[in-house]
Structure 1
Amino acid sequence: MEKFKRKVFYLGGFDPRGVRFYHQLYRDQAERYSRLSGEALEVSARRAGPASSAIWTVTNHSAGVETDYEFLRWEDLVGKVWIRNPLALAWRSIGTYSAHARHMQFWRMRKLRQGPVITILYPPLLAILIPLALALIPALLLSLLLPFWAAALIGICISAALSGRLLNKLIVPWLLRFMYYNHTVAAEGPGAEMEARLDQFAARIVEEMDGPYDEVVFASHSNGTIYAMSVLRRILELRGGRPLPGNFIVLTLGQVVPVIALRKDARWYHADLKALDDKPFRLIDFSAPPDGAAYHDVHPIHLVSDRCAARVELLSPRFHLFYEPENYHGGWSNKYEAHFDYLRVGDRLSPVDYVSLTAGRRTIDEAIAQFRTIP
C-alpha cells in the first residue's frame, strides 16, 4: 500500500495550557479512535519545531498514513494576559463591556446566531447575581435569628466560599477573560509579539505547503480561527500571486470570527478579511449549532464583503449522532466541554471527527462526501 502523507498545522484558541495539554488530548483521542476503528495509530513524542511550534508524528499503520502534525504555539503570549486576580478581572470586565456596548454590532450578531449573544452577555450578569444571591439569601434568613450585621457577615462568607466554585462551573471567569482579551485585540490589534508570531506561522506554512504531501491542512479552533484569517492573508501575500496548492485546505473548528469582525473599531481585522475576498482558497468550517460559543453557518468573509472567490463550506459536525445521550455535552454547565468536542472522538466514529480528518486515509473532501451520506 502506497503511503498517504499529510501535513497538519494546528492553531489553537485562547488557552494557557498549551502544547502539553493538546498533545496528550490528541494521544487520548487517537487511542479512542483505534479502539473504535480497529486501526493501529501511533502518536510520537513531541519535539521542538522550527518556528514557535512543536511537532509530533501520527502514524496509522493499518491505513498506511503518516501525518506530520505541527502545533503552532502562542500559549506563552496567552499566559502574559491571563488575568488570575478575580478583582482585577471584574474591574477590566467593566471596561470590556462598556466598549462592547459602544462598538459591538449586537444587532448583526443576533441575526447571525442568538446563542453567542447570550454567551457574551450572561457572564457579567451571573458574576453579579450569583455572589449577590449567595450572600443575600442566607443573610435574610439568618437575620430572623441573629443581629443583621452578624447575618450579613455570615452571608458574605458563604458567598465568598461558594461563588467562585459555581461561577467556574458555569465557565464565567474563562468567558470574561476571553471577552477582555478579544476586546483589547479588536481595539488595539494583536500587539507586536503576536504580529511577529503570526508572521512566523505564515512563513512556516508557506515553507511546507509545496512539500511531498498528499494533503496539507491548516486547522484552527476557537480563538485560533480569528487569527487563522490573518495568517491566511499573510500566506497569500508571501505567495506573491502564485496560486495555493490544490491540496491545501483551511479548516476552522468552532469558529468565532464575528467576535472581532463585528466590532466597529476593529478596522485592522476588517482589512485582513477584506484582503481575502478576491482570493481563491479552500475553507471548511465545522461549527455546531448547540455550541453557544461558536458561529454555525456564518461565512467569515461575508462579514465584511459581498463577494468571495474562495470555495467555502459551512457544516455542522452533528455531534448528537455520534454520542450516547448520557455522554453528549449539553446544557449550561457543559458549554466549555462542548466547545472542545471538535477535537474529540465520540462514542461512534464520524467521518469528520478530528482524528479521522488528520490521521485517516480519506482526504477531507472524501470524508465530507461520506459524511453527507449519513441521514
Structure 2
Amino acid sequence: MGDNQQQKVSKRRVFYIPGYDPIHPRRYRELYRKEAAAQAQTSGYEIALSPKSGGGAYGWHVEARIEACDVQADVEVLVWSDIVRDSMSNSVPATYWQMLRTSWEYIATGALWRLMKLRKGPVIAALYPIGALLLQLLIAVLIGFGMAYGGATAVDALVALVTGSKGGAWLGPLVYVVVLPLVAWAVLQWFKARDAKFYIYYLMHDYAYSARYRGANPPELEGRLAEFEEVIAQALQSDVDEVLIVGHSSGAHLAVSILADLIRKGRVPDDGPKLAFLSLGQVVPMVSFLRDAWRLRADLQFLSAQEHLSWVDVTAPGDGCAFALCDPVSVSGVAPENKRWPLVFSAQFTKSLSPERWKALRWRFFRLHFQYLCAFDRPLDYDYFQITAGPQLLADRYANRPPSSSRIDYAVSKFTSTVPGPHSGTLSGAVSDTTPKTSP
C-alpha cells in the first residue's frame, strides 16, 4: 500500500484478551508502548500512544503512520484478572489438593499422553509445577525430620543427664510429632513466599482452573464471556473498518467461544466492520482435550467454517509454553469438511530475532511466551504493531500467506464430543479420523 487511495483501514478497534494472568492490565499498555516504539524504530514507521477516551474496558488510543497511511486504533483489554485472582488459592494444602486433582484428570483420562504427541514443551511446563511441588514437599519433610531428630536427641540427652536414666525416652517421639510438621510447614510457606521467582503456584493454579471443570467454563467465566461478547457486538456497530480480536495464551480459547456465540446469534452485520481474529501462543489443546470441553470443541468446529471472519493463528517452536504449529481445530478432532480456518504459521523467533537477541531470550521461557506482543529486530511477515495499527486488514495481510508446512493438522484428542453427554471419544458432531489432513 503505497498511497492513501489504497488504504483499507483508517480506524480500527482492537480487543485484547489476556491469558490466565492476575496482574493489572496496565502492564499490557506499558508493554505495547515500549515495544511499539522499538519496532517503529527498527521498521521505519511512526506510532504513538495516548490515553483512551470514553468509558468501557481498560485500554489506550494509538495513532500510527505506516506505509504512508495514517491509522487510528483503540485498543481495549478485556479484563478477567479478577476471576483469575479469585481462583488462586492462598492455602498451601489447597494447592497440593489442586495438584492431585489436576494430575488425576490429565493422567487418568489419557489426555496427558495425547498432548505429548503434539509438543513436549507445554507438557513439560504443565509437569513442572507438579514436580516442583513434590520436590518442595520432600525437602520440607527432610528438613523437618532432621530438625526433629536433632531435637529428640538433645531432649533424650538432657533427660539422661538430669535423671541419670533413660526413663524420659518417650519425649523423643513427642518431639517428632511436634517439630517435624511445624518445621515442614514453615519450609513450605517459605517456598510459597518466593514463588514470584519460580511461578510454581501460579502455573499450578492455571492448569487446575481448566481441569477443575474438566474443560468446561466455570459459571463466573461464562458470565464474563457474555459481557465481552456484548462489548464486541457494540464495536461491530461502530464506524471503524476492522474489529480485531487478539487472544493470547489461554485468552485464545476464550476468544473462540466469544466469537462463535457472536456469529451464532447473528450479531455480525454484513455491512459493518470486518471481523478478524488473531490467536497468539495458544494453548487450546490443554482445554479441548479434556472430557467435558464439549462447548469449546463445538465452538472450534463452528468457527473454523465461518465466512464472517478471518482467523490467523501464530505460534513459534521457540515458545515452549505454547502448542506451536498445532492447528487447534484439527488436533482437537473436530475439523469439519468445510473447514476454512485458522491459517497456522510460525512467528519464526530464530529468524526474526537476531542471534544476539535470541541468545539473550532463549532460556527465558515466560518472556518468550509474550514475544508475539513485542518487537523483533529482524522482522519477517509477522509484526504485531502493523497488524493492530497498520493500514491492512488482517485478511488482506495474509491473503497469500501459505500455512507452515510443519504444522500438525490431524486429530489427536481422545475426547471429540461437541454436545453434552457420556464421556465418549466420538459423539455427535465429532471427527475421529486420525489421518493427516491438509489445511485450507
Both proteins in one fold, TM over 0.5: yes
SS of residue in 2 equivalent to 1:7: strand
**How far, CA to CA, are the matches of 1:240 and 1:40 in structure 2?**
34
2:236 and 2:273 in contact (8 A); partners too: no
- Structure 1 equivalent of residue 228 of structure 2: 201
> Are 2:136 and 2:188, in contact at CA under 8 Å, matched by a contact in 1?
no
Alignment equivalent of 2:49, drawn from 43, 50, 70: 43
Deviates more, 1:252-261 or 1:178-187: 178-187
Conserved 8 A contact 1:273-1:304: no
Q: 1:314 aligns to what SS in structure 2? A: strand
What is residue 118 of structure 1 aligned with on the other side?
A: 124
Provide Cα deviations, 1:73-127, integer angstroms capped at 9, x if missing partner: 1112212112233343222222221222233523322222222222222221122
- Cross-structure match for 2:100: 94
For residues 74 and 139 of structure 1, the distance between their equivalents in structure 2, rounded to whole angstroms, comes to: 43
Unaligned runs of 5+ in 1: none
Return the letter of the residue paired with 2:375: V
CA distance in 2 between counterparts of 1:133 and 1:345 reads 41
- In structure 1, the residue matched to 2:335 is 306
Superposition CA RMSD, Å:
3.5
Which amino acid counterpart does residue 205 of structure 2 have in structure 1?
Answer: R
1:5 aligns with 2:16: no
Determine helix, strand or coil for the equivalent of 1:357.
helix
Aligned mates of 2:400, 2:42 — CA distance in 1: 18
2:348 to 288, 297, 318: 318
Q: What SS does the aligned partner of 2:115 have? A: helix
Q: CA deviation at 1:135?
A: 7.4
Shift in Å, 1:130 = 4.8
* 1:223 aligned residue (250, 260, 263): 250
Q: State the match for 1:22 in structure 2.
A: 28
Other structure's SS at 1:8 match: strand
CA change 1:275–1:121 in 2 (3 A) is: same
- Superimposed CA distance per residue, residues 224-252 of structure 1 (whole angstroms, 9 cap, x where no aligned partner): 01111110111112216966968321110
Using the TM superposition, give the Cα deviation of residue 159 of structure 1 relative to its aligned residue in structure 2, in angstroms: 5.7
Q: In structure 2, which of residues 316, 320, 325 is the aligned counterpart of residue 288 of structure 1?
A: 316
For residue 61 of structure 1, report the CA deviation from its aligned partner. 4.2
Q: What is the percent sequence identity of the aligned residues?
A: 28
Structure 1 or 2: larger helix share?
1
- Asked if the contact 2:372/2:384 (under 8 Å) is kept, the reply is yes
CA gap 1:24/1:237 in 2 versus in 1, 3 angstroms = same
Aligned partner of 2:421 in structure 1 is none
Count residues with an aligned counterpart: 365
Structure 2 counterpart of 1:56? 60
TM-score of the aligned structures, taking structure 1 as reference length: 0.83
1:260 aligned residue: 287
* Alignment correspondent of 2:138: 132
| Secondary structure of 2:344 counterpart | strand
What do the CA deviations read for 1:353-373 (whole angstroms, capped 9, x no partner)? 32232123344355447988x
- Larger gyration radius, structure 1 or structure 2: 2
2:325 is matched with which residue: 272, 297, 314?
A: 297
Pick aligned residue for 1:330 from 336, 359, 362: 362
SS state at 2:21 partner: coil
Match of 2:372 in 1: 342
